[in-house]
DNA sequence: CAGAGGAATGTCAGCGTTGTCAAGGATATC
DNA sequence: GATATCCTTGACAACGCTGACATTCCTCTG
């Protein structure tokens, strides 16, 4: 069997068939399909009827050869977290399909030296002709990539950008406000001794979460300093940070981790140390990723609308009437589950 | 800014440029690019030099319009597990890119009524012209889908098929043998009282794991029957099944769960019940997915080469010389971590 | 009511490849 | 040495659609 000639399925109708069938010119069919102005209602109706009857579907290859669009949106991926990535991907997919576009995936590896990275990008853009790219973190803040796309005149939308936010369009949530909300939750439960597990230093959103958390606690009147430890964004990082925190003898009653993975690690460290969550100590995360419901007790966290962010990013790319650059802020909300509770009575 | 005209990047060289540059005909360039026979070494060298110099890249749209290939491989997704999906996707992506193809993602929802599902498929195949599809479970065993693809004459490769294995090509591992290996591991540790958490009933691979596990134990001389409980493939399912098992008063010393997620749930149930893993009870999973290292203690499990399976599937699709139908078996191996240990002294 | 301007529709030449067919040259066969 | 056969190369017409431009038919304006 041969790849090339294997499609022996029913013959697809062409635009010519539609034109003949509805008694109008080829170009008029084209106009209807592309929603161009200056088409009478009568003609449109005729053509649409013919399209429906013949089950006509425009040929993407011919369209992109003749026109200048490819009807493909590229999703640029370089994120280690499968949960996050899949959610973004789902959102982008839905938006793209709703516009009759297709989703193309492209992975890049930004952990290589700059020149190699540039070579990757060049190859990618040369090969993968797309009408636009959705950039996921950490790519959203990769200046080399942004420069390259700008210079090539390729449209893009950034998900959760932190640096140079005026470049391209971006979809964000207010990390600081979200962290502040978590701070209030813990404060209201009665906690007064806190630790925070910082995310990766390169991750700007993580820094904003930290700042928002600490600011809010100060505003609420916290006296003790907040203990800070680097934990990264991984389970291993969380467990390590948790181990060393608990070994140090410091005993916060609540720990805020930079994301759900590290929070899960912290919880593991607590149970290793014989502390029960949430009775002895409260732990909370950020993202409401899938792992938040794959640990026991279920994790209190901040819901980030990741799928919606992907959807919004793709939609932005597909709206031709969009301004050059804009930052769209989406809503988060607190998800209180079982890993936070009032502190133990001293 | 307009999607259509935004690409003001450098002008791409066309095949015509290459032909002129190397002093040969258009068709000869085409022959070189497509690796067709009957091309002299001299001509090939000239053309290749010109291609390199002009940085020529064939235009995919023109190729698929003129020829009958699209240079796109579709990945059909309907799997709830992001870990699994991302791994498959990565493998498929790498294989596809190595052949200068592109990866298109398409989601379908097989949880809807049959007629609605058929409509989805029809729309998908009508719109998404691909040179072939990679099917992931549970789609690999969806007969409606297989019928549809066969009938449309579209090539596909199935990942982990269980039913009607002679249809299309398939990439599998030996689930029964893998489960048997796990059984031997536990037996060698000294366990004699087992429970097994069954996967979803519709999931054939899960059934094979169960059978392989029990068969092997019988072969080894197990006397007590293995306790069986349905847990599905989710964390919640695992925790529920674990709760009811432990509440029942039955006390196996080792629990084999159908996948890592349900194993994590079982571990949570154990710690809720005050049992320490692995000192009081051993727990093991299947897949070596990402969650196996996101629980404490790290999970003993079976490594399935999911990424390689995706890679193999796509490669199969891209080899034109492949027979109609073939089943390719890939290797698994045991990953012994911290969740299994000898049973407590009675 | 002539002329201008705009709305509605049509004609036609590509877009950048590949498939078909033909032609010329080299090699093999009797 | 003539004919048959294969190898190598090229000319040219699609592929299905859109962009530029032409044409017709209104409707408005003064």
The domain that holds A51 is classified in CATH as 1.10.260.40
Question: Which chain B residues are within 8 Å of A65, Cβ to Cβ?
Answer: 59, 61-62, 65
Question: Which protein residues have their Cβ less than 7 angstroms from some atom of strand C?
Answer: A 4, 24-28, 31, 37-40, 42-43, 62, 65-66; B 12, 14-16, 26-27, 30, 33-34, 56-59, 62-63, 65-68
Given a contact cutoff of 8 angstroms between Cβ atoms, the answer to whether A241 and A266 are in contact is yes
User: Which is more confidently placed, A275 or A138?
Assistant: A275
Q: Which helix (H) or strand (E) is A282 found in, with range? A: strand A282-284
The CATH number assigned to the domain holding B254 equals 3.40.50.2300
- Residue A2: the pLDDT is 36
Buried b (16+ CB within 10 A) or exposed e, A6-22: bbeeeeebbbebbbebb
A30 touches strand D (CB under 7 A): yes
User: What average pLDDT does range A259-280 have in this prediction?
Assistant: 95
- Residue A8: the pLDDT is 47
Q: What is the pLDDT of residues A10-20, one digit of tens each?
A: 678 999 999 99
Instruction: Flag whether A209 is in a domain.
Output: yes
Domain identity same for B300 and B231: yes
Looking at the complex, report in whole angstroms how far the Cα of residue B141 sits from the nearest Cα belonging to chain A. Answer: 22
Instruction: Flag whether B63 is in a domain.
Output: no
Distance CA B30, CA B280 (A): 68
User: What average pLDDT does range A164-185 have in this prediction?
Assistant: 95
User: What average pLDDT does range A195-213 have in this prediction?
Assistant: 92
Residue A7 has pLDDT above 60, yes or no: no
User: What average pLDDT does range A83-100 have in this prediction?
Assistant: 92
A20 touches strand D (CB under 7 A): no
> Which one, of B121, B110, B139, B61, lies nearest residue B313 by Cα?
B139
Positions in chain B whose pLDDT score sits under 70: 1-10, 320-324, 346
Distance CA A325, CA A185 (A): 35
Domain identity same for A183 and A227: yes
Instruction: Flag whether B78 is in a domain.
Output: yes
Between chains, do A61 and B65 touch, taking CB under 8 Å as contact? yes
- Residue B1: the pLDDT is 34
Domain identity same for A102 and A120: yes
Question: Which chain B residues are within 8 Å of A59, Cβ to Cβ?
Answer: 65, 129
- Residue A156: the pLDDT is 94
- Residue B162: the pLDDT is 87
Distance CA A344, CA B21 (A): 80
Instruction: Flag whether A193 is in a domain.
Output: yes
User: Which is more confidently placed, A1 or B146?
Assistant: B146
Among A269, A285, A304, which residue terminates a domain?
Answer: A304
Chain B, window 175-234: residues with a beta carbon less than 8 angstroms from a chain A beta carbon: none
Which range of residues forms the domain containing residue A205? 175-304
User: What average pLDDT does range A226-234 have in this prediction?
Assistant: 95
- Residue A325: the pLDDT is 78
Domain identity same for B226 and B321: no
Domain identity same for B179 and B147: no
Q: Please report, rounded to a whole number, the percentage of residues in chain A having pLDDT higher than 70.
A: 95
The partner residue sitting opposite A127, judged by closest CB among B57, B131, B294, is B57
Q: What is the pLDDT of residues B165-210, one digit of tens each?
A: 889 899 999 999 999 999 999 999 999 999 999 999 878 889 999 9
Tokens describing residue B11? 């002008």
Three-state secondary structure call for residue B209:
helix
Given a contact cutoff of 8 angstroms between Cβ atoms, the answer to whether A333 and B333 are in contact is no
Instruction: Flag whether A5 is in a domain.
Output: no
User: Which is more confidently placed, A137 or A191?
Assistant: A191
Domain identity same for A188 and A250: yes
Q: What are the CB-based long-range contacts (under 8 Å, 24+) for A26-29?
A: none
User: What average pLDDT does range A43-69 have in this prediction?
Assistant: 93
Given a contact cutoff of 8 angstroms between Cβ atoms, the answer to whether A330 and A177 are in contact is no
Handedness of CA A78, B309, B199, B135 (dihedral sign): positive
The number of residues making up chain B comes to: 346
- Residue A122: the pLDDT is 82
Instruction: Flag whether A128 is in a domain.
Output: yes
Instruction: Flag whether B67 is in a domain.
Output: no
Domain identity same for B91 and B106: yes
Domain identity same for A167 and A202: no
Chain B, window 84-143: residues with a beta carbon less than 8 angstroms from a chain A beta carbon: 85-87, 89-90, 93, 100, 102-107, 125-129, 131-132
DSSP A181-226: HHHHHHHHHT---EEEEE--TT-HHHHHHHHHHHHHHHHHT--SPP
Domain identity same for B187 and B295: yes
Domain identity same for B205 and B189: yes
- Residue A346: the pLDDT is 63
Read off the pLDDT band of A324 (50, 70, 90). Answer: low
**C-alpha A232 chain-centroid distance:** 19
Which chain B residue has its CA at the smallest distance from A238's CA?
B294
Cβ neighbours of residue A284 closer than 8 Å, sequence gap 6 or more:
A182, A185, A186, A254, A255, A256, A257, A263, A299, A300, A301, A339, A340
Residues β-bridged to residue A302 = A334
Domain identity same for B19 and B99: no
Instruction: Report the number of distinct structural domains present in chain B.
Output: 3
- Residue B346: the pLDDT is 63
Domain identity same for B260 and B326: no
Instruction: Flag whether B213 is in a domain.
Output: yes
């Amino acid at each position: 069997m041969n790849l090339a000639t294997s499609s022996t399925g029913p013959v697809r109708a062409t635009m010519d068939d539609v034109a003949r069938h509805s008694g109008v010119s080829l170009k008029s069919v084209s106009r209807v399909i592309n929603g161009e102005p200056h088409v009478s209602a009568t003609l449109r109706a005729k053509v649409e009827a013919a399209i429906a009857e013949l089950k006509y579907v425009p040929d993407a290859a011919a369209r992109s050869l003749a026109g200048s669009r490819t009807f493909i949106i590229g999703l640029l991926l370089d994120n280690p977290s499968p949960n996050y990535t899949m959610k973004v991907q789902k959102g982008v997919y839905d938006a793209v399909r709703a516009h009759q576009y297709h989703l193309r995936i492209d992975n890049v590896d930004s952990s290589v030296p700059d020149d190699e990275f540039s070579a990757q990008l060049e190859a990618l853009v040369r090969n993968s002709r797309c009408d636009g790219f959705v950039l996921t973190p950490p790519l959203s803040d990769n200046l080399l990539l942004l420069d390259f796309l700008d210079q090539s005149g390729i449209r893009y939308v950034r998900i959760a950008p932190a640096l140079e936010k005026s470049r391209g369009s971006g979809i964000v949530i207010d990390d600081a406000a979200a962290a502040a909300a978590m701070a209030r939750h813990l404060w209201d439960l009665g906690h007064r001794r806190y630790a925070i597990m910082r995310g990766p230093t390169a991750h700007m959103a993580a820094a904003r979460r930290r700042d928002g958390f600490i600011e809010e606690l100060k505003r609420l009147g916290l006296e003790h300093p907040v203990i800070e430890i680097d934990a990264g964004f991984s389970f291993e990082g969380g467990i390590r940070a948790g181990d060393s925190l608990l070994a140090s003898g410091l005993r916060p009653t609540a720990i805020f981790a930079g994301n759900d993975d590290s929070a899960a690690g912290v919880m593991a460290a607590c149970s290793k140390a014989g502390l029960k969550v949430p009775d002895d100590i409260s732990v909370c995360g950020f993202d409401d990723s899938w792992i938040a419901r794959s640990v026991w007790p279920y994790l209190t966290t901040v819901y980030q609308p990741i799928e919606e962010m992907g959807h919004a990013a793709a939609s932005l790319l597909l709206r031709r009437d969009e301004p050059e650059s804009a930052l769209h802020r989406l809503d988060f909300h607190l998800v209180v589950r079982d890993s936070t509770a009032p502190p133990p009575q001293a």
